[in-house]
Structure 1
Amino acid sequence: MPYVTFNHDEWAALAQATALPLTDRDLARLSSLGDPISLEEADAIYRPLSAIIQMFAGAQGALFARAKEFLGFSQPRTPFIVGIAGSVSVGKSTTARLLRELLSRWPGTPNVALVPTDGFLMPNAELEARGILGRKGFPESYTPGALTKFLDDIKSGRDAEVPVYDHVSYDIVPGKSITVSSPDILIVEGLTLLQPAKLDERGEYAGVYDYFDFTIYLDAPETSLEEWYVDRFLKLRTTAFSDPRSYFTNYAGLSDQQAASTARDIWRAINLPNLRENIAPTRSRATVVLTKGADHRIEKIHLKRL
């Protein structure tokens, strides 16, 4: 494979030449439920990664400036877009938030937006009508063309709307959206972002991958992902599931054994097939692959050769 590979310690050594250290307070604010990460680990992995992304963004900016001068046009530079993909429970949200925090501290990119792809899912009513509610998170469960249209607007310098997804009700919030307006960097986080383009209704190849300037794939063994999913499910019983508005409120009263069994059934029926069919096969398309061990620690960093 066309990658340069670093082990954890080799990569961590790069952090010593990178500014912008994190604090314990930062980490408490940014880490996700079920994705434990130490301050040392966050600094070791994400400070160098933010520096690499800055190098790519800076090089693209320099190319834009030269092209702008040569071509004589006045349009502003478009946002640099980072895509983060990987399985359910692998830690995409924590990675995305840590990178947003670090990248926004660099002088050239103070405005960093983060958009999860959950907002582009079809509403539950539509999924039920199509008979695919049980395949939520699979490529066919997203509103056709919505994410591509959003990214096209961003790359064209237009404001773009993102529907709001409520993880408690497990559904799109009707009539509610957020506006993303010309960020320096846009981070998009989701399951199947690295899939190749497919023919659309116009007979043209269209895919979100083509809009990304830098991509990250979070990798881990299937057995670890399952255990992390079960662990998070157990924790959610006493948090989100216990909310009366929760779509999963009927799970709140399960015993530990019942909850673990239910979580494994869901993992094996939905998340594992999606991982094998649609997510893991796209791993080699990423600019960087972060490979985790069973303890959530990133053991290998694979950077695509230039």
Structure 2
Amino acid sequence: MLVDDVIALVPSIPGRRALLGLTGPPAAGKSTLAAHLVAAVNDRLGQGTAAYVPMDGFHLSNAQLDRLGLRDRKGAPETFDADGFVHLLRRLRSERERPVYAPDFDRDLDQPVAAGLVVLPGARLVVTEGNYLADADPAWHPVRDLVDELWYVDTPRDVREARLLSRHLHAGRSLPEAQAFILLSEQPNAERIAATRSTCSRTVTEGDLV
């Protein structure tokens, strides 16, 4: 069971911290899986043992995307602050005596929110997830050396695209706008991410939680 495998990653020595990365295409269920694993670890080992820090908080703001002319590519690798994310992982690795604050992402606002999350000193496992954790681009490549394991979350394309459609409609796009964005942006991103699958430690699915 996945939960047992995650618990095996938790350091038994006080003061140590492990990082588990989950990657996969948009709407593969990464955030759902991460939240489930964190809750399960905390249920078994005590509250505060595990923390969740997604990559989504490092989306560039809409103002910056507009400045760069990238609003219609939101979600592509170049629309994230990769350096900021890598820096956060390094802090999580080295800082164990003070809280580490991290940005979150508000889907209703469609914007990052500064210091929306915190990892307390007692956390011995941090689960992070995002589209480009296994990407070969130099900006993202350091992630591989900063996580103990990197898992690829696999979900059928039709399931992912139904979720994406629902997500974009909820965000206020019309049906034609949502379908066009999935075709022109989300799908190319998904294909790029799928190419990294073989470089990950293992492949998992939401069904593996059962």
Q: TM-score, normalised by structure 2?
A: 0.84
The 5 Å alignment of 1:27-106 reads 48-58=1-11, 61=12, 77-106=15-44
Conservation of the 8 A alpha-carbon contact between 1:120 and 1:147: yes
Other-structure match for 2:207: 298
Tell me the distance in 2 between the aligned counterparts of 1:217 and 1:206.
15
Other-structure match for 2:104: 164
Q: Secondary structure at the match of 2:103?
A: strand
Other-structure match for 1:120: 58
Number of residue pairs aligned between Structure 1 and Structure 2: 205
Tell me the distance in 2 between the aligned counterparts of 1:138 and 1:100.
27
* One of 182, 185, 201 as aligned partner of 1:267: 182
Conservation of the 8 A alpha-carbon contact between 2:9 and 2:18: no
Q: Secondary structure at the match of 1:164?
A: strand
Tell me the distance in 1 between the aligned counterparts of 2:163 and 2:116.
31
The structure whose RCO (Cα within 8 Å, separation 6+) is larger is 2
Conservation of the 8 A alpha-carbon contact between 1:113 and 1:187: yes
Shift of 1:285: 2.3
Shift of 1:180: 1.9
Q: 1:233 to 1:93 in 2, by over 3 A?
A: same
Larger Rg: 1
Conservation of the 8 A alpha-carbon contact between 1:90 and 1:220: yes
Matched, 1:187 2:127: yes
**Matching residue's letter, 2:29:** G
Shift of 1:230: 2.3
Q: 1:162 to 1:56 in 2, by over 3 A?
A: closer
**Matching residue's letter, 2:118:** T
Tell me the distance in 2 between the aligned counterparts of 1:141 and 1:149.
17
Conservation of the 8 A alpha-carbon contact between 1:124 and 1:172: no
Conservation of the 8 A alpha-carbon contact between 1:154 and 1:160: yes
Q: Secondary structure at the match of 2:8?
A: helix
Q: 1:271 to 1:104 in 2, by over 3 A?
A: same
Conservation of the 8 A alpha-carbon contact between 2:53 and 2:127: yes
Conservation of the 8 A alpha-carbon contact between 2:134 and 2:141: no
Conservation of the 8 A alpha-carbon contact between 1:79 and 1:184: yes
Identity in percent: 26
Conservation of the 8 A alpha-carbon contact between 2:21 and 2:133: yes
* One of 132, 136, 146 as aligned partner of 1:211: 146
Other-structure match for 1:226: 161
**Matching residue's letter, 2:16:** T
**Matching residue's letter, 1:50:** V
Conservation of the 8 A alpha-carbon contact between 2:53 and 2:117: no
Shift of 1:227: 2.9
* One of 74, 90, 113 as aligned partner of 1:136: 74
Shift of 1:209: 2.0
Conservation of the 8 A alpha-carbon contact between 2:22 and 2:128: yes
Cα displacement string for residues 236-290 of structure 1 (whole angstroms, at most 9, x for unaligned residues):
2xxxx4xxxxxx3xx4xx5xxxx2x33221111111001112x111112222312
The 5 Å alignment of 1:147-162 reads 147-158=85-96, 159-162=99-102
Cα displacement string for residues 113-160 of structure 1 (whole angstroms, at most 9, x for unaligned residues):
111111111111111111112222222111241011111011012542
Aligned Cα RMSD in Å?
2.5
Cα displacement string for residues 154-191 of structure 1 (whole angstroms, at most 9, x for unaligned residues):
10125422123221121123x55433233111011211
Tell me the distance in 2 between the aligned counterparts of 1:102 and 1:177.
22
Tell me the distance in 2 between the aligned counterparts of 1:118 and 1:165.
6
Other-structure match for 2:203: 289
Q: TM-score, normalised by structure 1?
A: 0.60
